[in-house]
Amino acid sequence: MTNKINYLVRFFAFLLCIFCVEVASHETPVALLSVVERELGYYSLDWTFSSSRNQQAPSVEWPSACKQRYAALDCGNTPLLGEISLPQIGEEYSAAVVQIKYLNKPGQSFTLSGANRSFVLTANGRLPWQQVAASYVPLGVEHIMLGVDHLLFVLGLILLVKGTGNLIKTISSFTLAHSLTLAAATLGWVGVPEDAVNAAIALSIVVLAVEVKKYRGGEPCLSARIPWIIAFGFGLLHGFGFSGAMTNIGLPAENLPLALLFFNIGVEIGQVFFVFLVFAIYYSHRNLEIKFPFWAAPAGIYGAGAIASYWFLSRFALLLA
């Protein structure tokens, strides 16, 4: 177990050096296309972007009956029906949301990703569950894999837990907690300021780094005895962070429960993959008998705390601006 902890801490340091360089560590760039019906068969088009890195509108392939002219779409005297495709999604943007507003009926919203770049617009507006899954599961995986602060917290839990059974219990507790707050915030039952949540998430990593340092130093550490309680408490906080991505991506009202479910499934797939990746690297390291300097292990702990502290101070400064 000692060798395991030593290695994982070194991996922790390696991960920090590569990825932990930005305060905004889990941006999910999304493009929003608003399609507004002005009269039968005639629509205005407007793009907005959640990311400042790129403001170039992705190309759109419309049904054959429709012709785009600059910021307008002309479908003649027929409704907008058929396949709509955004072939560039998954390159500059993680996702695109297409919101359609009609004159005489409720609007519709569709989310596209690199794994699902088109949808078929039908009269009733509902999508099969397979298409909802194809849109939202990849977005959930991408969000957790880009969320370095969330992954660092999971890695801290691994460093703090003894035994496979306790690890499963701890990760499950974290999963349950952030699933609850993700659903509550996304459905509008609870509202929390995004900047405050991001600052608190960074602080949770600082607290966990201190607990890991105590545990490794042989000091009394309550969180090492009941890590699932710590995981559940901070998991509630991290769920609010996940909900920010859902707000940016957009949820179709007609497919809301399924969209939320599949996004959360994607998050869990990414989280489980990360845990297996950590242990795969650990066993590879053990078999290769790679030696690190004696100072590598404590450097990882102090590095985690230092970078998370920087994140916290930087994010907290945004609250005071």
Residue numbers of the chain with a pLDDT score lower than 70: 1-28, 50-55, 123-127, 245-254, 289-297, 321
pLDDT digits 0-9 by tens, 20-61: 444 444 556 778 899 999 998 899 999 887 655 556 788 899
List the one residue out of 21, 25, 24, 44 whose CA is nearest residue 33.
Answer: 44
Pairing of strands 72-74, 108-113: unpaired
- pLDDT value of residue 2: 47
Q: How far apart are CA 171 and CA 61, in angstroms?
A: 43
pTM, 2 dp = 0.71
pLDDT (0 to 100) of residue 203: 92
Distance CA 157, CA 260 (A): 26
Helical H segments across 147-188, by residue range:
148-160, 164-186
What are phi and psi for residue 172, nearest 5 degrees? -65, -40
Q: Please give the pLDDT value at position 24.
A: 45
pLDDT for residue 105:
80
What is the H or E stretch that residue 49 is in?
strand 42-49
For 245-258, give one letter per residue: b (16+ CB within 10 A) or e. Answer: bbebbbbbebbeeb
C-alpha dihedral (232, 235, 239, 245), degrees to nearest 10: -160
